[in-house]
Amino acid sequence: MKLKNTLLIAALISLPINSALALDGEQLYNLKTCFACHGKDANSPILPIYPKLAGQNRDYIAAQMTDIKSGARANGQSAAMKGVMHLVSEEEIGAIADYLATLAP
């Protein structure tokens, strides 16, 4: 009982701290306007030639975002996306990639 209470208190104390520190990928996805082109569910892009992102491999997503941001990837329609990538830090790229990889494809 005592241990249970201690664990509960520990969980309550750590909750706000964790949510303040950890970046929320879902929130960032909306905040950084990703949804405007890739769809609210990351699976219904505004144009058929824009990619679906839901359920894609985490490291692949992060690498593509990094490369579109740096200009290393400049194929296809990437120019459309490059314009928003200055809003997204390396850390935020990681958090968004974590989130997108958890979605159902």
Residues at the interface with ligand HEC (CB under 6 A): 32-34, 36-38, 50-51, 53, 61, 64-65, 75-78, 80-81, 84, 88, 96
Distance CA 102, CA 104 (A): 7
Distance CA 63, CA 44 (A): 21
Distance CA 88, CA 96 (A): 10
Rounded least distance, CB 5 to ligand HEC, Å = 41
Position closest to ligand HEC via CB: 76
Distance CA 12, CA 81 (A): 39
Q: Which is nearer to ligand HEC, 10 or 80 (CB)?
A: 80
Rounded least distance, CB 6 to ligand HEC, Å = 40
